[in-house]
């Protein structure tokens, strides 16, 4: 076992399988005591079970680590508080929060229901806020702590049929930046990972056409466990100077994402009119317009 996270206590949400499971196991292997949070829900949210969280805890204990399960939902303030409280009650403190819990309700935008919108926003964006907020006071009082949030290229770049998921994931990137700014004075760091990995969530991606089948085949080569080393690094003291960043992890690649900044400016001394914008400003900026593309089109090379 590594000692990179020795003495630290971590909460990993959505840790019953896939990426979250890999992170929980890696945190424990690096010496952290881990709260394995998972409500054990199906992708549709129809049923829940304590089994997945307990199974990961059993794996950690069998390997010589320390962990406890938690089955509270991230989607309400009260239940999110319970997740963090489990860490404090069982292990005496909280040092690391990995906001990984997620769900999908994919639907083309003009057919998306209010419920499909709310269910995804509640888990991804609100859940990230609630769990982070529950840990924030502990981090402030001890003047240390690390947040690792899962964003997605669906939000950073774009994707079909995921307006709810994309909005939540881009919101998480902005939330992470705000946390980093507000809590830097307390030595609290906040970073995002955009993971590329085949998991239970991505297994719902359709594979009907030859193009879709080829895309899924590439995804299946990207192991969920490959995300964990970056999460462990960001949670460790080795990353004490790393905050407000967005990283991508895809198989054996690590990417650093840019963040929005002005790329072109045009000036009209007497002020703009709609007509002069159409005649001068828009043509001057058009060369710099972002293409209407999805994540697979922007990141179009095969996994390494």
- What average pLDDT does the segment 186-209 reach? 80
298's CB contacts (< 8 A; 6+ apart) are 153, 157
User: For the whole model, what pTM was predicted?
Assistant: 0.92
Catalytic residue from among 165, 196, 233, 247: 165
The answer to whether 165 is a known catalytic residue is: yes
**Averaged confidence pLDDT in the chain:** 93
Q: In the chain, which ranges are continuous DSSP H helix? A: 18-29, 51-62, 77-91, 114-121, 127-142, 153-156, 163-183, 210-220, 228-235, 274-276, 282-286, 295-298
What is the fold, at CATH topology level, of the domain defined by 9-259?
Answer: Rossmann fold (3.40.50)
pLDDT tens, residue by residue, 272-297: 999 999 999 999 999 999 999 999 89
pLDDT tens, residue by residue, 41-65: 765 555 555 699 999 999 999 999 9
User: What is the reported pLDDT for 21?
Assistant: 98
pLDDT tens, residue by residue, 79-88: 999 999 999 9
CA distance 134 to 153: 27
- What average pLDDT does the segment 83-109 reach? 98
Question: Residues 202-214, buried b or exposed e (16+ Cβ, 10 A)?
Answer: beeeeeeeeeeee
Domain segments of the chain: what residues? 9-259
């Amino acid at each position: 076992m590594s000692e990179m996270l020795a003495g630290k206590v971590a909460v990993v949400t959505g840790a019953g399988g896939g990426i979250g499971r890999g992170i929980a196991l890696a945190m424990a292997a690096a010496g952290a005591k881990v709260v394995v949070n998972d409500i054990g829900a199906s992708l549709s949210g129809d049923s829940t079970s304590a089994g997945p969280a307990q199974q990961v805890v059993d794996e950690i204990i069998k390997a010589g680590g320390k962990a406890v399960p938690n089955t509270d939902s991230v989607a309400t303030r009260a239940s999110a508080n319970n997740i963090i409280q489990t860490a404090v009650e069982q292990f005496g403190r909280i040092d690391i929060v990995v906001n990984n819990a997620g769900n999908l309700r994919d639907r083309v935008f003009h057919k998306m229901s209010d419920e499909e919108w709310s269910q995804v926003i509640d888990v991804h964006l609100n859940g990230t806020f609630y769990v982070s907020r529950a840990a924030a006071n502990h981090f402030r009082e001890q003047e240390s702590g690390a947040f690792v949030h899962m964003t997605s290229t669906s939000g950073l770049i774009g994707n079909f049929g995921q307006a709810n998921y994309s909005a939540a994931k881009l919101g998480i990137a902005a939330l992470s930046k705000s946390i980093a700014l507000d809590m830097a004075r307390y030595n609290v760091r906040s970073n995002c990972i955009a993971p590329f990995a085949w998991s239970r969530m991505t297994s719902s991606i359709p594979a009907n056409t030859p193009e879709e089948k080829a895309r899924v085949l590439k995804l299946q080569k990207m192991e969920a466990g490959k995300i964990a080393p970056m999460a462990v690094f960001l949670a460790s003291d080795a990353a004490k100077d790393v905050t407000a960043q967005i990283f991508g992890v895809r198989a054996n690649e690590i990417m650093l994402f840019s963040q929005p900044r002005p790329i072109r400016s045009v000036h009209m001394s007497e002020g703009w009119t709609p007509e002069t914008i159409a005649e001068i400003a828009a043509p001057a900026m058009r060369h710099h317009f972002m293409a209407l593309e999805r994540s697979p089109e922007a990141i179009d090379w095969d996994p390494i």
